[in-house]
Structure 1
């Protein structure tokens, strides 16, 4: 843990620098595509005056991305988070230098040319690549590489949005698939290092600071929960539609390299309808939270942005999903907020918390992200209500999240529900068979062979001395071997086992360690001995361990009524 925490200082700095480079690349691409100038200054697509060229610019950017994906690396396709999850779970957390370079470049071209995406997915992939590449320079395990990969991803997200708490929770809920000190502490270190760099590289304070006030009263929590339910339905609809669009692209009789260009045609049409649907939309998020957008623009963002985003993302181009989800959830909250007391900007924030929770199956991340993003920590109860409602709807309507569905379509099914291994809760004394049958050490090999041939009920038996202390373990396989190597069999079992090291455990030993012992030794039954006397008090088999898993599942699913008598 301490070693990884020290390495996380470097990874956190790399993630922050990668985020700064990505934002500068997006700014350069935006200036080149929409204003014809070479500049890294921030620029808004809505300020450009390109006329009908709005139909062509996204097409040019998508053609570039298609060629980068085909001739560079196919891993740059998509929004980055599913690819990071897949690398963690199935790729031993190894990302290549090519991905680290091409992913931010392709995302900059995509967003800069008008693609309706955010920078968060690409920076999660890029930050993860920085952590993975750094880890690959040392002799580390796959689990340790995973920790540094996730640390880099969380550091990148922190640098972009200035949301350290949400970045840590995203790491836990979406990327780590565990909550252990070995992974948690290094992620915290990387996130804090990135957050310390942020004022120098990107800027201080909340990314979308707003003056919207929260209405007073307990009814606010109920209203937030209702909005959460509604945006949860919206998240389920968006996820379902996205993968149906992706299926349609897979049916096209052209190479996938051309799919982003086909999707860009619809992006250009959407931009012709309303320029606000193009690009990352961070300015639109700010105006939604300020409550200053006209109703016409809010409706355009809600429907046109959704259509062009779904088509563009389904085409396999490069870009993130978080900013579009925030815009769509914020627009829904804004519309509903017109029928509720208080500032519509507050209800837009509630919609953002809910849709992130519902789409990504990350309720705590969604709740904290909205509060950190705006600096409205007093609104946490309301964002939690919204996130909880959206999460409930999502798990009832969708088998998988918008992130894991993409991986499942590649034949790799992922469960986003984390539980503690039941074997880590139980000790050997709780599962063992007490007072097992044993064989005396004075028994001869010939007698033991005859016993296994005629009387044995088990495949193996502990061998004990006169005081019941463990000498070893003999099995049916041993008896068959003795018939060949020592037909006379005058030697006793104690003499035969004197040079054999026998694995054993104590009643207090965690069953998880015994399961590891069985795998490592190949022995199906482990004797359990008293720690003080060495006497055999039980035996634990593979079947006993499987019974523990069955009992755990039974406790999860079996229902019964029980009233204790007074």
Structure 2
């Protein structure tokens, strides 16, 4: 004979017990982490501009400047070397945790550090990243801001009596807010937090992270600038049969991602064999960066102007080839040295350059469309976050029409990389 539970008890067994009053408390705290993330993004953008203008143009200014069309002489080779020396000194005597591109370090704090980050990381990480990028390092600001936003949120959380999962939620909320502050991509930032940092989609984490990025995107027009970052609605619609080409571009992007990841691991192994202290590795990487800048200045620095040019289809074939090879070489040499900088913008640049080259043999679309599809696919495959990469491309341009094409390419790239590589660039 069956015994049925009272209606109230039956409903209670189906309840998600991760959602309670403490989730509302985390949402209130996320208002603070979102503000911290936006302010940190503003500060990092200004620091990078200050270092770039001082190092290359010998002026003190926080106006954003790019190096694409800069006239660099032989002496410019020593600028990234000097930046590498400063970053190495900060890593050795300030905090070793500033080494790397930010996301693995944030992930390590979550997995092994109970989501606790030291106060000095919140200071040294943005400073060292601004020096590295401002002196020509081929990085983006997003990795450092993810670590900095997460560090500030972690410090804020440590003032309260919170559990490790609750601190993890606020750390991810701060990281996502920082990414939103830089790129103006709130949905992609939430997905990145879920796919890369939280590994869960529960109300206790999803709702506070969402609150945090909404606060950050509200602050962004006042602090950083309008969004989308690369507004462009002129991308041609993709015919139905072109979706198969998108899958092909995704496969190529997956191969590019796997090759890039393998090359990065190999470069790290080579640095490990050097008979000198790791403090000097960023300076050695700076030599290669400086030489690469003489060949193609567009490969230096943060490169958002070049991403915009790729999406608008204004990068010529020979320029795309030079950008792809120079950017790949200097990025691998520099990142593997343990310097500070982000990976998202370089992956977008390398993928976009490959897409611009592929556009010359594809029967439909234009250079801008295939550059956008390829840059999203390389990002999704290399970081193994296809959902994030798909929405990231849409939010960067504000063009929803590219969603099916980008989704197919990201899925294909992701499938290739997981089949070929046991580890991602984050592990």
* TM-score bracket relative to the smaller structure: over 0.9
- Give the superposed CA RMSD: 0.9
Q: Paired residue for 1:171, among 189, 193, 208?
A: 193
CA contact (8 A) 2:27 2:207 kept: yes
Which has the larger Rg?
Answer: 1
More strand by share: 1
More helix by share: 2
TM-score (norm 1): 0.71
Counterparts of 1:215 and 1:53 in 2: how far apart (Å)? 47
Counterparts of 2:81 and 2:148 in 1: how far apart (Å)? 25
Q: Paired residue for 2:319, among 277, 287, 297?
A: 297
Structure 2 match to 1:108:
130
Please state whether the residue corresponding to 1:44 is helix, strand or coil: coil
- 1:84-124 residue CA offsets vs partner (Å, 9 max, x unmatched): 00100110000011000000000000000000000000000
Counterparts of 2:171 and 2:321 in 1: how far apart (Å)? 39
Counterparts of 1:133 and 1:51 in 2: how far apart (Å)? 44
Counterparts of 2:398 and 2:161 in 1: how far apart (Å)? 41
Relative to structure 1, the CA distance from residue 85 to residue 216 in structure 2 (aligned partners, 3 Å threshold; closer, same or farther) is closer
Q: How many residues align?
A: 404
Structure 1 match to 2:308:
286
Structure 2 match to 1:408:
none
Counterparts of 2:138 and 2:212 in 1: how far apart (Å)? 29
CA contact (8 A) 1:212 1:343 kept: no
Q: CA deviation at 1:48?
A: 3.5
CA contact (8 A) 1:212 1:345 kept: no
Counterparts of 2:86 and 2:62 in 1: how far apart (Å)? 20
Counterparts of 1:281 and 1:155 in 2: how far apart (Å)? 22
**Residue 392 in structure 1 maps to residue 415 in structure 2:** yes
Q: CA deviation at 1:220?
A: 2.1
CA contact (8 A) 2:233 2:398 kept: no
Q: Paired residue for 1:185, among 189, 203, 207?
A: 207
Please state whether the residue corresponding to 1:22 is helix, strand or coil: helix
Q: Paired residue for 2:399, among 367, 371, 376?
A: 376
Q: CA deviation at 1:50?
A: 4.1
Q: CA deviation at 1:45?
A: 1.8
Q: Paired residue for 2:227, among 171, 195, 205?
A: 205
Q: Paired residue for 1:30, among 52, 59, 62?
A: 52
Counterparts of 2:367 and 2:233 in 1: how far apart (Å)? 11
Q: CA deviation at 1:339?
A: 1.7
Counterparts of 1:354 and 1:154 in 2: how far apart (Å)? 21
CA contact (8 A) 1:337 1:344 kept: yes
Q: CA deviation at 1:46?
A: 3.0
TM-score (norm 2): 0.93
Structure 2 match to 1:338:
360
Q: Paired residue for 2:119, among 89, 97, 108?
A: 97
Q: CA deviation at 1:145?
A: 0.5
CA contact (8 A) 2:138 2:330 kept: yes
Structure 2 match to 1:481:
none
Q: CA deviation at 1:309?
A: 0.3
Structure 2 match to 1:75:
97
Q: Paired residue for 2:177, among 155, 161, 180?
A: 155
Q: CA deviation at 1:251?
A: 0.3
